[in-house]
Structure formats: structure tokens, C-alpha cells
Amino acid sequence: MKKKIILLILCLGIAIALHGQTNFTGSWKLKQILQVAGPEYSNAMAEALVIKQTADSVWTGKRGLAMNGTKLVFFGDENRKMVKSFSWAADKKSFKVTTVIYMPGNDKEIDLTREDTYSMVGVELVLQRKSIESNSESWETKGIYTKE
């Protein structure tokens, strides 16, 4: 009986924590790309996205992002330091992933900052991507995805 009560309390706690929060979990296929500003890049948006959301994390592709704002640091194949951070909007209806990418071999000089804002419009996932580049052009694009 005691185990059932603990399990019930745990389930209620998770339900309360997720109440009002948009669920982005699913496999998403690119439907449309809209160029907002700057030059147009054919590879600005992924053809498909996979998002897995749990009570304490959101997974996009191969990278897990903590919901508590903890920054994650990666060193990619090109010896580029990347720092990713995650934040929910106040209403929990959208979230932003900010990626700071440093120059190859120089983890002190920022090459570019990418801001990805995920939101739902009806049944479609909208990914607003903004790239702010230090030494070249900056651009912004919007991808509209449908659930597979």
C-alpha cells in the first residue's frame, strides 16, 4: 500500500509539473521553409526532426538539453567548442536553444551564435532559426514541420 501511495504522489507531481506545458515529442517532417532575413541556405533546416520530451529533459536529434538551464559544452569533429543552453518561455508553450560556436581551435573567440525557437501553431511545429555570425553574414529562417 505504501508503494502505491508513493507512486501516486510521484505521478501527480509529474502531472502538475507538465500541466500547461506544450508537448513537442514526436518525429517531424519539414513541410516548408520561409526565408525571413539575410541570404538563403538550402541546408538551413533539417529535413526531419525527432524530439523526445520527458519531465526533466528535451532531446532534439542527438543532443539532450537539460530543462533547468544548465549549459552543455561540446567539442565537435572540427575542434570547435560549442556551448548549448535551453530555456522555456514563461508560458511553457515554446522553448529556445541557444548554441554558441567558437572558432576552430580557439575556444575564446566566438564564430557564431545560433538561436532556435520551437513553438507549436495548431498541429504544426514551427522552428524559428536565427544565425548571428561574427565574421560574415547573419540570417534568419523559419521551418514549418508536420508530425509523421
Residue 57 maps to which CATH number? 2.40.128.20
**Within a domain: residue 51?**
yes
**Within a domain: residue 16?**
no
Question: What pLDDT score does 10 carry?
Answer: 44
**Within a domain: residue 9?**
no
**Within a domain: residue 59?**
yes
Quick check: 143 and 60 in contact, CB under 8 A? Answer: no
**Within a domain: residue 3?**
no
The total number of structural domains in the chain stands at 1
- Provide the domain limits for residue 44: 23-147
pLDDT range class, residue 74, cuts 50, 70, 90 = low
**Within a domain: residue 72?**
yes
Quick check: 121 and 94 in contact, CB under 8 A? Answer: no
Express each pLDDT in 88-123 by its tens digit.
Answer: 999 989 999 999 999 988 989 999 999 999 999 999
Express each pLDDT in 126-136 by its tens digit.
Answer: 999 999 998 88
CA distance 53 to 148: 16
Query: How many percent of the chain have pLDDT more than 70?
Result: 76
pLDDT range class, residue 140, cuts 50, 70, 90 = very high
